Amino acid sequence: MKFYGLLVFLLLAACGDSNSVGAGSMTNKNPLISVEIGEEISDLLSNSPVPFSKECVSDVEMCWYKIKKSFGDDDLPSVEVNEALRLNQVASVSTAVDGEVGTTIENLDLSVRSLPDGSKHDEYRTYLYGLIKDIKNAGWVHYYAPSDPRISGSQADKIDSADDVMGDYVLSHPWLDPNYELDLERWLKVGKFYNWHFYKDGNHLTLKAWRRDSDDAPDERGTYLVSLSFNTEREYWSAAFPETEEKKRWKELLPAKLKEYADIRQSREDKAEKAGIEIESSYQDPFIKALK
């Protein structure tokens, strides 16, 4: 996992591809790219002021569209998602389009330039909570993974580990509840990977940060790779099924999967309540439009 994180970090710092498609060369120093999750990929390509590279595998009808620049470039674009959330200094934009599903944008990954390498951990903490505030102001709300216990950040003092809750590994850890800020001590205990989960209008968003500590002062300074991953409802829930044929039948298979998740959540919440940990019972899972 450490090697993979380092590889991603180095690759994203590299310059982009020369084979590109889109509206043409940049006309402004810091152009604005507008993306609508669910829009036709052709609309994004024709309207973008920055050209995308394109790579396809015809055998599986998959195409990848990317903008990749160096984090040190002074002409990094901004990206506005769904006319509400604006990210500045974006070094990488990518989406994968599965021709068997359609020609719309079902996923979007952005990597943003944050603070200078070797900044203080507390400065990165402040930066990321500022980004979380922007995300929430754009209408995104905290999302619990369906099998995770609904334990909010208000219970952080009752959770000893940054990885699990009562011995169970969870995706939506209470320490990374976007509605509560971690103190610096716990922040450093989280480790290398930070993930905050959000939901809005059928779409899912995960804010990610990968931390590489400074060699000279690992407890004080580091470098963080910050990225955001957006997924449509179909993209999010079909990922619950590993086999290709199951993915095609995700709507049919999802009710049984949700029952499985609900049983796991109930077991974890029962265990937590017995230990004196409060459950955020007011939280209800978002309605899944595909099951309407």
At residue 7, the pLDDT reads 41
Is residue 60 very low, low, confident or very high in pLDDT (cuts 50, 70, 90)?
Answer: confident
Domain of 154, in residue numbers: 2-291
Provide the b/e sequence for 221-253 (b: ≥16 CB within 10 Å). Answer: bbbbbbbbbbbbbbbbbbebbeeeeebeebeeb
Is residue 14 very low, low, confident or very high in pLDDT (cuts 50, 70, 90)?
Answer: very low
Angle at 194 between CA 67 and CA 106, to 5 degrees: 40
Q: Is the pLDDT of residue 8 over 50?
A: no
Identify the CA nearest to 33 among candidates 87, 73, 69. 87
pTM score, whole prediction: 0.89
| Mean pLDDT (the chain, rounded) | 91
- The residues pairing with 212 across neighbouring beta strands, listed in sequence order, are 223
At residue 28, the pLDDT reads 61
At residue 277, the pLDDT reads 98
The maximal CA–CA distance of the chain, rounded, in angstroms, is: 61
d(CA 47, CA 150): 41
> Residues 265-279: what's their mean pLDDT?
98
At residue 96, the pLDDT reads 97
> Residues 177-199: what's their mean pLDDT?
97
Q: Is the pLDDT of residue 24 over 70?
A: no
> Residues 121-145: what's their mean pLDDT?
98
Q: Is the pLDDT of residue 58 over 90?
A: no
Q: Is the pLDDT of residue 175 over 80?
A: yes
Q: Is the pLDDT of residue 107 over 50?
A: yes
Is residue 21 very low, low, confident or very high in pLDDT (cuts 50, 70, 90)?
Answer: low
> Residues 140-146: what's their mean pLDDT?
98
Identify the CA nearest to 82 among candidates 205, 234, 226. 205
d(CA 70, CA 62): 26
Number of domains making up the chain: 1
Is residue 17 very low, low, confident or very high in pLDDT (cuts 50, 70, 90)?
Answer: very low
Higher-pLDDT residue of 100 and 180 is 180
Q: Is the pLDDT of residue 9 over 70?
A: no
Q: Is the pLDDT of residue 121 over 50?
A: yes
d(CA 89, CA 87): 7
